[in-house]
Amino acid sequence: MSTGSLQGTKMRRFRIEDLVHPDMHMIANQFVCAVCLNIVEDPVQTRCSHIYCKGCLGPCELCPTCREPINVQQVKPLAECNKPMMRLMQDIKVHCPYNVPSAAGIQANPLLDIARPLKKARTGHEADAEETVAVEGKTSEEECKPCSWTGSYGDLLVKHLQECPFHWVSCPRGCGEEHRRCDAMAHESSCSKFFETCKYCGEGVRPEDMAEHKRQAAELHVQILEEKLAAKASKDEAAVALTNGFEKLDRSVEKVAKTQHVTSLLKQRNEDLKQNITEATGEIKQEMWDCMRTGVVWVIKDWSTMLRRFRKGAHMTSKQFNLKGFDGLEMHFYPNGDNYGTAPTPLGHCCLHLHNAGEDELMKFDVTVGTFQGKMVKPPGQDHAYVEPRTPDGQMSDDRLIITVALSEYYESV
């Protein structure tokens, strides 16, 4: 069983003392990754019979324990090559890692950890050392104790962490923040992506309703752009007339005053006016270009250095961009692959994610990553799509990796 197979939760790694029953520590020590010192996540076994997290072992060329060379072809998932050990790990007796206030709360108070044993020694009662944690939205009378679940390690990964109210999850709207599952409603009040401002009419709209808003207000948006263009055109005409007036005045002053100072001043004012006209026209052209653009290019410099620095699960993020009026698009590139989802990236592959606000359209993209060429499909309502090309080998002549994404097709839901 892969710990990366959890759906709808943000997987967190745990140490033995976080959740393993004291009687099972000796058994659990066999499943501690020597790289991250946590209980192994997505365990694999080497030819020398040592067990590691799949993501931790990926960048290694030698076994971190015995220094024997690692052959990638001989590294196997523990569930395939050593089923008894896999069952032994799944049967370890554990409790919920959020069964103490410092684990379940949003912020732990370090002074509380110091004061608790002193308070216990002073009163002589076990109950005085216990704390309760209030779940978001409950009154003081409805406060509940931290999670008291116990069971096997396999049940913890497969079932309990998908239900535990204290488990940390990522914001489903993609704002980048994490919150406890029980704090989801409270997070909406501060979520940066709960409402978005339409760049055409300025109306605040929920991200999931933005596509419908664009369709319903399409005529209004076109009217607003036309009014802006008409206003700019009117200003351009006035500016041209004013420029001609300045030119005539310039000639008159040259004849009458014959002074270099006045002539230079008028020329400077004329240049400033032309610059303002150019900048205003450029803004309108940029808005029109955002509605017509179909593809973008992302150039990653110092590619060989980035490939070494970013371990599996770490990613770099592109600037946000627009394609055919779909705004807020963003690329996440994992040089050594990711660890999440139902199928983590295979060894030797990179991974490219394309995120947006979950538009209700079927969107298809043509993608190139270095020499790789492929397609990416985002089903309606999902906030991202991804591809997993093989990581480019060697170092390019200019040490750059070029990624291109082009919107090839999209179909609106009816």
* Tens digit of each residue's pLDDT (9 = 90 or more) over 65-74: 999 999 988 9
299 and 408 co-located in one domain: yes
Angle between the N-to-C axes of helices 260-292 and 218-256, in degrees from 0 to 180, rounded to the nearest 10: 170
Query: End of a domain among 99, 132, 162?
Result: 99
Percent of the chain beyond pLDDT 70? 76
**Residue 69 counted as domain residue:** yes
Rounded CA-CA distance 50/63 in Å is 8
Q: What pLDDT is stored for residue 120 in this prediction?
A: 39
Let me know if residue 203 belongs to a domain.
Answer: no
- Cβ atoms within 10 A of the Cβ of 143, count? 11
- How confident is the model at residue 239, as a pLDDT? 76
Q: By C-alpha distance, which of 413, 414, 405 is closest to 384?
A: 405
Residue 8 or residue 294, greater confidence: 294
One domain, residues 44 and 8: yes
Q: Are residues 328 and 285 in the same domain?
A: no
Does 368 lie in the same domain as 342?
yes
The CATH number that applies at residue 352 is 2.60.210.10
The answer to whether residue 83 sits within a structural domain is: yes
Let me know whether 273 and 303 are in one domain. Answer: no
* Greatest distance between any 2 Cα atoms in the chain: 103
**Which CATH number do you get for residue 90?**
3.30.40.10
Note every long-range contact of 5-11, with CB atoms under 8 Å and residues 24 or more positions apart, other chains counting.
5/157, 5/158, 5/342, 6/157, 6/158, 6/161, 6/162, 7/162, 7/342, 8/162, 8/169, 9/161, 9/162, 9/167, 9/169, 10/167, 10/168, 10/169, 10/170, 10/178, 11/41, 11/161, 11/339, 11/340
The CA angle 330-372-366, to the nearest 5 degrees, is 50
Terminal-to-terminal C-alpha distance of the chain: 40
Asked whether residue 235 is domain-assigned, the answer is yes
* Residue the block writes with tokens 């319903």: 216
Q: How much is the average pLDDT of 298-302?
A: 91
Mean model confidence pLDDT for the chain:
78
73 contact partners, CB below 8 Å, separation of at least 6: none
Give the whole-angstrom CA distance, residue 65 versus residue 36. 13
Task: Give the domain-ending residue among 99, 123, 144.
Answer: 99
The verdict on 354 and 250 lying in the same domain is: no
Contacts of 148 (CB under 8 A, 6+ apart): 95, 96, 99
The torsion angles phi and psi of 385, rounded to 5 degrees, stand at: -135, 160
User: Are residues 6 and 88 located together in one domain of the fold?
Assistant: yes
Residue 336 covered by a domain? yes
**84 and 66 both lie in a single domain:** yes
- Considering its fold, how many domains does the chain have in total? 3
Residues 300 and 408 in one domain: yes
Q: Is the pLDDT confidence value at 119 over 70?
A: no
**Co-location of 256 and 352 in the same domain:** no
pLDDT at 39: 93
Of 206 and 339, which is predicted with more confidence?
Answer: 339
Pick from 19-23, 292-296, 326-330 the range whose average pLDDT is largest: 19-23
364 and 316 assigned to the same domain: yes
Q: Which one is predicted more confidently, 200 or 348?
A: 348
Per-residue pLDDT at 29 exceeds 80: yes
**Is 105 inside any structural domain?**
no
Tell me what pLDDT residue 232 has: 80
Range of the domain at 36: 1-99
In a domain, 252, yes or no: yes
Q: Tell me, yes or no, whether 332 and 377 share the same domain.
A: yes
Q: Which residues, in sequence order, are CB contacts of 204 under 8 Å at separation 6+? A: 195, 196, 197, 198
pLDDT tens, position by position, 58-113:
899 999 999 999 998 899 999 999 999 999 999 999 999 888 654 444 344 443 34
User: Which of 214-218, 286-290, 304-308 bottoms out in mean pLDDT, i.e. has the lowest?
Assistant: 286-290
Tell me: pLDDT of 192 over 80.
no
Residue 136 lies in a domain: no
Of 359, 352, 357, 392, nearest to 376 by C-alpha is 352
Among the candidates 72, 99, 126, a domain finishes at 99
CB 385, CB 407: distance < 8 Å? no
Decide which of 177 and 121 is more confident.
Answer: 177
